[in-house]
């Protein structure tokens, strides 16, 4: 049997990178998938490549969009089993030179977005009698990186939100876990990886000797979404090629 047979999943940030790979893999494993992104062109492109998927335009940082995302998914597919809170952005700057608007946007998308989508998803999961929420945090939530203060804070916060929600909703059979990707080849890291020196430095810290592909994270999300992980909640799974070993 396919690993997500009969499940309904929302994947945010599914227009690109990790989210797109997860939407494709979830569907291949039998899930009905709602592809959510605020980039309409990319989101529609992902959805059109997946049989039976729907695209829902949503800015996860907006309360009304998060509410509508969950409502439209349930209206179309009848229930909700899996929420992959994956949408995220990065803005450069240390605590002194980060503009307040950049701080707010990063926290709004990366942390508040996961809160809002979960806020509306959890009551539907309670109705269904089960659920799995997966949050894409980062190794930047586990160790500090220079020059991305807001991003590090947002991902550290997301790890604690994961644990808090896991504790609150375990009695309702809802599991909540976080994945901490290392350096993955996506649009988010394109500029860094185009810089030879930066690329070499990223590769050096990734002890396994290669950078990650979006599918490396999508397969971890697949495990956490599936019933194979039914005894796993509140955990933070580093999928980082060994970055955080040393």
Residues 128-157 that bind ligand NAP (CB under 6 A): 136, 138
110 in Cβ contact with 141 (< 8 Å): no
Q: Is 120 part of the annotated catalytic residue set? A: no
Least separation in angstroms between residue 5's CB and ligand NAP is 26
CA–CA distance from 39 to each of 57, 111, 149, 158 (Å)?
A: 7, 19, 25, 23
What strand order describes the sheet that includes 8-12? Answer: 54-57, 32-37, 8-12, 82-85, 131-136, 174-181, 236-239
Which of 4, 9, 11, 17 binds ligand NAP (CB under 6 A)? It is: 17
Least separation in angstroms between residue 76's CB and ligand NAP is 18
Q: Which is nearer to ligand NAP, 15 or 156 (CB)?
A: 15
- With binding defined as CB under 6 A, does residue 42 bind ligand NAP? yes
- With binding defined as CB under 6 A, does residue 39 bind ligand NAP? yes
Contact mark string toward ligand NAP, 53..92, x via CB under 6 A? -----xxxx------------------------xxxx---
DSSP string for residues in 54-119: EEEE--TTSHHHHHHHHHHHHHHHS---EEEE-------B-TTTS-HHHHHHHHIIIIIHHHHHHH
- With binding defined as CB under 6 A, does residue 50 bind ligand NAP? no
Residues 159-178 that bind ligand NAP (CB under 6 A): none
137 in Cβ contact with 158 (< 8 Å): yes
Query: Which part of the chain contacts ligand NAP (CB under 6 A), choosing from 38-46, 115-123, 170-178, 228-236?
Result: 38-46
Q: Which is nearer to ligand NAP, 31 or 150 (CB)?
A: 150
- Residue with tokens 């508040």, as numbered in its chain: 112
- Residue with tokens 């049997």, as numbered in its chain: 1
The catalytic residue among 38, 120, 151, 219 is: 151
Per residue, what are the HEC states of 25-38? HHHHCCCEEEEEEC
Separation of alpha carbons 237 and 180, rounded Å: 6
Residues 187-206 that bind ligand NAP (CB under 6 A): 187-189
Least separation in angstroms between residue 11's CB and ligand NAP is 10
Which of 9, 34, 47, 109 binds ligand NAP (CB under 6 A)? It is: 109
Backbone angles phi, psi at 3, to 5 degrees: -75, -20
Q: Which two tokens stand for residue 140?
A: 């930047």
Q: Which is nearer to ligand NAP, 18 or 220 (CB)?
A: 18
Give the residue numbers annotated as catalytic, written as ranges: 151
Which residue ranges make up the site for ligand NAP (CB under 6 A)? Answer: 12-13, 15-19, 37-39, 42, 58-61, 86-89, 109, 113, 136, 138, 181, 183-184, 186-189
């Amino acid at each position: 049997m396919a690993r997500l047979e009969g499940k309904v999943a929302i994947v945010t940030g599914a227009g690109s990178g990790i989210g797109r790979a997860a939407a494709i893999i979830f569907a291949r494993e039998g899930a009905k998938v709602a592809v959510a992104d605020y980039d309409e062109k990319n989101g529609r492109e992902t959805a059109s490549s997946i049989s039976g998927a729907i695209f829902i335009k949503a800015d996860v940082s907006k309360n009304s969009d998060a509410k509508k995302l969950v409502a439209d998914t349930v209206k179309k597919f009848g229930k909700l089993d899996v929420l992959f809170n994956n949408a995220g952005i990065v803005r450069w700057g240390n605590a002194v030179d980060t503009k307040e608007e950049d701080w707010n946007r990063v926290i709004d998308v990366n942390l508040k977005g996961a809160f809002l989508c979960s806020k509306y998803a959890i009551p539907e999961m309670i109705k269904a009698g089960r659920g799995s929420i997966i949050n894409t945090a980062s190794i930047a939530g586990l160790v500090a990186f220079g020059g991305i203060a807001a991003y590090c804070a947002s991902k550290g916060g997301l790890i604690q939100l994961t644990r808090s929600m896991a504790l609150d909703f375990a009695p309702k059979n809802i599991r909540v876990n976080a994945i901490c990707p290392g350096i993955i080849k996506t649009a988010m890291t394109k500029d860094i990886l185009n810089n030879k020196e930066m690329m070499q430095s990223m590769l050096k810290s990734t002890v396994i000797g290669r950078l990650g592909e979006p599918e490396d994270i999508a397969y971890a999300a697949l495990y956490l979404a599936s019933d194979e992980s039914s005894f796993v909640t509140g955990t933070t799974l580093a999928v980082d090629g060994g970055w955080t070993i040393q």
